[in-house]
Amino acid sequence: MAELGAHITAASAGDDRPSIFEAVAQDSLMAAVKPALQHLVKVLAESNPGRYGFLWQWFDEIYVLLDVLLQQHYLARCSASFSENFYSLKRIPMGDCRQQPLATAGLPKRQHWKSLLLLVLVPYLKGKLEKLVSTLREEDEYSIHPPSSSWKRFYRAFLAAYPFVNMTWEGWFLIQQLCYILGKAQHHSPMLRLAGVRLVRLTAEDILALEKKLGGASSHPAPSIKSRVQSAVRKALGTIAFSLSTGLSVSVFFLQFLDWWYSSENQETIKSLTALPTPPPPVHLDHSSTLLPKLKTVCPLCHKTRVNATALSTSGFVFCYRCAYSYVKAHQRCPITGYATELQHLVKLYSPES
């Protein structure tokens, strides 16, 4: 009976702990937002490369800057990330504290900055690493680097080791989630453990305190210009964050649908559903441009006879493979039309003679 009573007491004390479904759902929320925004920026860049092309080229950096502002606002105001606050969760410091601090109290500075770095920097670096691995695999497959290059062995060793490193990383998260389900861990994610915090549900006192703080923010006028500027910036960030939060409550399903629709696994289905006749050449091009050589066998970039002829599927123009690869990798657009282009849009051409 004593053991049963202790178990019931422990279970009631752990009622504030979110379920694994809530924890995983808030993790996947931001993962669904980024692909949808990326597709929106891609559509803008393709519609007007001159005006919006830089958004596509620097999308990762612009997104991480906006993510920093958003997560900083919610961590300072609600002791939670944007997605955690969306699911009515908050972060509290690790420790055996009987009385939890209110969400409006904020996290200690150490846990606050650790949380911000792990929320923003780790996904950014992981995305960059995945893009680097994809690029190196393409370069290794098409022998972009000469065989005598001193970096060749390093590239191949890195590519050979990356799958095992990635498997270890994903396995770490899986084991942590299993321990959380079995009640052996207080965190469902290693990132929370590294930040020194754990997730709990918002209480009624937290909700009242957040509403009071939001309502009282505008009741006291700022006494100085500096305070007014800071208040205006906070109010603008709060408005943006509130708009995102309320908008996402309606459009989460739509964002996840876009994520599925434009996923790599669904590309073949998309091609079969959206197959259209080949469009005519761009009508806005000036055919007297110096970029377009008179001879059809000459590359528009190096102005020499083409080697390993490669077409860009976004525009249809043909270049040397090495020229097209280097230009698209550096500028992410077609050198003739300016259309947004990625390395996956390079299509090698094979003549009957070869």
**2-49: per-residue pLDDT in tens?**
443 444 334 334 467 888 888 888 888 777 778 878 888 888 888 888
**Helix/strand/coil percentages in the chain, nearest 5:** 65, 5, 30
Residue 275 has pLDDT above 60, yes or no: no
Q: Is the pLDDT of residue 149 over 90?
A: no
- Residue 231 or residue 123, greater confidence: 123
User: Rounded CA gap, 136 and 264, in Å?
Assistant: 19
Instruction: Determine the Cα–Cα distance for residues 262 and 160; give it in Å rounded to an integer.
Output: 28
Computed over every residue of the chain, the mean pLDDT equals: 77
- Residues 51 and 198 occupy one common structural domain: yes
> In the predicted model, is pLDDT for residue 1 greater than 50?
no
Q: What total of structural domains would you count in the chain?
A: 2
Q: Is it the case that residue 306 has pLDDT exceeding 60?
A: yes
301 with 175, same domain: the answer is no
Token pair, residue 73, equals: 């606002």
Q: 352 to each of 299, 346, 349, how far by Cα in Å?
A: 19, 20, 10
215-220 long-range contacts, CB within 8 A, separation 24+: none
Last residue in a domain, options 156, 184, 213: 213
152 part of a folded domain: yes
Per-residue three-class SS string for 272-317: HHCCCCCCCCCCCCCCCCCCCCCCCCECCCCCCECCCEEEECCCCC
pLDDT at 127 over 80: yes
What pLDDT sits at residue 4?
37
Domain-located, residue 4? no
Same-domain check for residues 199 and 316: no
Residue at a domain's end among 213, 237, 258? 213
Burial of 142-158, coded b for 16+ CB within 10 Å and e otherwise, reads eebeeeeeeeeeeeeee
Say if residue 206 is in the same domain as residue 77. Answer: yes
Domain-located, residue 120: yes
Per-residue pLDDT for 59 more than 70? yes
Q: Of 159, 179, 213, which residue sits at a domain end?
A: 213
What is the CATH classification number for the domain harbouring 344?
3.30.40.10
Q: At residue 346, what is the residue type?
A: L
> Is residue 269 in a domain?
no
Same domain, 204 and 300: no
Q: Measure the CA dihedral 185/188/193/196, to 10°.
A: -100
> Do residues 332 and 184 share a domain?
no
pLDDT at 271 over 80: no
Tell me, yes or no, whether 56 and 182 share the same domain: yes
CA 304, 305, 308, 312 torsion-angle sign: positive
Q: What is the mean pLDDT of residues 73-96?
A: 85
Q: Compute and round to an integer the Cα radius of gyration of the chain.
A: 26
Residue 254's pLDDT is 63
What are the pLDDT digits (tens) for 188-238? 899 998 998 989 988 888 888 877 776 655 445 545 676 677 667 766 766
Whether 245 is in a domain gets the answer: no
> Same domain, yes or no, for 204 and 309?
no
**Residue 201, in any domain of the structure:** yes
Same domain as 346, residue 209: no
Sign of CA dihedral 91, 93, 99, 103: negative
User: Mean pLDDT across the stretch 62-68?
Assistant: 90
Higher per-residue confidence, 271 vs 323: 323
Q: Mean of the pLDDT values across residues 257-262?
A: 60
Q: Is 287 domain-assigned?
A: no
For the chain, the first-to-last Cα distance in angstroms comes to 83
The verdict on pTM exceeding 0.85 is no
136 found inside a domain: yes
pLDDT score recorded for residue 246: 57
Asked if residue 301 and residue 195 are part of one domain, the reply reads no
Task: Give the phi and the psi of residue 319 in degrees, each rounded to 5.
Answer: -140, 175
Q: For residues 314 and 201, state if they share a domain.
A: no
- How far apart (Å, rounded) are the C-alpha atoms in residues 213 and 229? 19
Query: Which pLDDT belongs to residue 124?
Result: 92
Choose the weakest-confidence range: 82-91, 118-127, 263-272, 333-342: 263-272
Q: Which residues span the domain enclosing 161?
A: 20-213
